[in-house]
């Protein structure tokens, strides 16, 4: 893979340079690991176009729902330690959640987006998001849309508090703390994987720009009948909410702030060993990469497959993607992980980050 790796790095570099030079992108990060070794780590452009601050490999970028992979990974690390069970009923550790007949909802239901509580009140605000107890009380008091396991519905925002409150009740720690101590620190990337971003790290973040994502959110609101239920107007997952310091500081574990290389490294430690660190066993890995539920999803109306906390793609990968253009995926069969993110949040632009994922995947597959 040495020659292929050099050629692949050059092709990725050329691609992202062209994206930035054309003005299509402001800043881009792309990283890939194979069999625990970093084979791609390319960065281009600026973290802040107003000041010219360069984007570097260690510049964290708000990456929307790609952050769900961080939240899900915390669950699997705790399960590996024997501290969590996927069939734990949420109400057993969070009694208030049992209201309105939700006492049978399990962590497995949450991880597969079948818990039945994807919606938030229409008037929820970013200020509400900064109050952990308020959001958990809101979700505990929610009336389920259907029985657990009955329907796949993307829990766009509620996923984070559902998982995060279980983690808090079981460990006594915020999920951002568990992520930092149990995942980021062992992997040697303590300043590159965040749920709640520490105040001191805010100046390091890339500045977000909108390039069609807000328009897409408005289109989805007007054309998808359930979109506003899961992403109410004041809290759509776009650059506006991802630029609010108070929201970035808060634990909102349905979204995250990260670097591509740290996300790729985390997935590499899920599917194998990275510098002596392995996050889960082979037996658990098989569960992560196996389809647990498949069907037409309620919000977007598309055929969807989920494993435990990650989307499962037909190309043999599992992982997550974020609105505006970010992703992190693992290909266990290839020993490969890929992550990409950008700070100019786009939509209907041909999805260049997905194009980079395909480029890396196909190049590695052809070399096997």
The radius of gyration computed from the CA coordinates of the chain, to the nearest angstrom, equals 19
Contact 119, 229 (CB under 8 A): yes
- The backbone torsions φ and ψ at residue 346, rounded to the nearest 5 degrees and listed phi first, read -110, 170
Alpha-carbon span 20 to 24, nearest angstrom: 6
**Contacts of 58 by beta carbon, 8 Å cutoff, 6+ apart:** 191, 192, 204, 259, 261
Please list, residue by residue across 265-280, b when 16 or more beta carbons sit within 10 angstroms of its beta carbon and e when fewer do: bbbbbbbbebeebbbb
Distance of CA 246 to the CA centre of its chain: 19
Active-site choice (65, 69, 72, 176): 65
Please say if 323 is a catalytic residue. no
- Where do the H-state alpha helices sit in the chain? 2-21, 68-80, 90-93, 107-111, 126-129, 132-140, 158-171, 175-179, 185-187, 213-223, 227-230, 245-249, 260-271, 282-288, 352-367
CA distances, 267 to each of 35, 81, 183 (Å):
11, 18, 11
Contact 329, 267 (CB under 8 A): yes
With residue 146 as reference, give the H or E element that holds it.
Answer: none
Q: Give residue 35's region: left, alpha or beta (phi > 0; psi -120 to 50).
A: left
Contact 102, 144 (CB under 8 A): yes
**Contacts of 350 by beta carbon, 8 Å cutoff, 6+ apart:** none
Alpha-carbon span 147 to 162, nearest angstrom: 16
How many C-beta neighbours within 10 Å does residue 6 have? 11
With residue 60 as reference, give the H or E element that holds it.
Answer: none
Burial status of residue 21 (CB atoms within 10 A of its CB: 0-12, 13-18, 19 or more): exposed
Catalytic residues: 65
């Amino acid at each position: 893979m040495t020659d292929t790796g050099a050629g692949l790095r050059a092709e990725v570099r050329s691609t992202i340079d062209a994206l930035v030079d054309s003005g299509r992108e402001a800043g881009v990060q792309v990283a890939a690991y194979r069999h625990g070794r970093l084979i791609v780590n390319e960065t281009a452009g600026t973290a802040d176009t107003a000041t010219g601050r360069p984007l570097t490999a260690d510049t964290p970028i708000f990456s929307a729902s790609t952050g769900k992979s961080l939240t899900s990974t915390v669950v699997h690390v705790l399960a590996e330690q024997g501290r969590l069970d996927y069939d734990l009923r949420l109400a057993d550790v969070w009694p208030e959640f049992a209201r309105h007949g939700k006492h049978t909802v399990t962590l497995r239901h949450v991880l597969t987006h079948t818990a039945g509580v994807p919606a938030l009140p229409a008037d929820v605000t970013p200020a509400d998001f900064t109050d952990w107890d308020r959001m958990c009380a809101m979700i505990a008091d929610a009336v389920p849309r259907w029985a657990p396991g009955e329907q796949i519905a993307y829990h766009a925002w509620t996923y984070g508090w559902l998982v995060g409150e279980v983690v808090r009740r079981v460990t006594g720690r915020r999920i951002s703390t568990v992520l930092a101590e149990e995942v980021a620190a062992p992997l040697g990337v303590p300043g590159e994987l965040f749920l709640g971003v520490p105040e001191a790290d805010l100046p390091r973040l890339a500045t977000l720009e909108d390039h069609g994502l807000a328009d897409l959110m408005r289109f989805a609101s007007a054309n998808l009948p359930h979109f506003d239920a899961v992403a109410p107007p004041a809290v759509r997952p776009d650059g506006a909410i991802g630029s609010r310091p108070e929201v970035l500081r808060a634990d909102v574990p349905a979204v995250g702030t990260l670097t591509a290389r740290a996300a790729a490294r985390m997935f590499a430690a899920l599917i194998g060993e990275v510098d002596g660190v392995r996050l889960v066993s082979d037996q658990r890995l098989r569960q992560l990469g196996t389809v647990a539920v498949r069907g037409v999803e309620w919000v977007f109306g598309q055929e969807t497959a989920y494993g435990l906390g990650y989307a499962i793609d037909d190309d043999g990968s599992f992982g997550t993607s974020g609105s505006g253009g970010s992703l992190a995926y693992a290909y266990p069969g290839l020993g490969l992980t890929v992550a990409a993110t950008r700070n100019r949040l786009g939509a209907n632009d041909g999805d260049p980050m997905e194009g980079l994922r395909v480029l890396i995947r196909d190049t590695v597959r052809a070399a096997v």
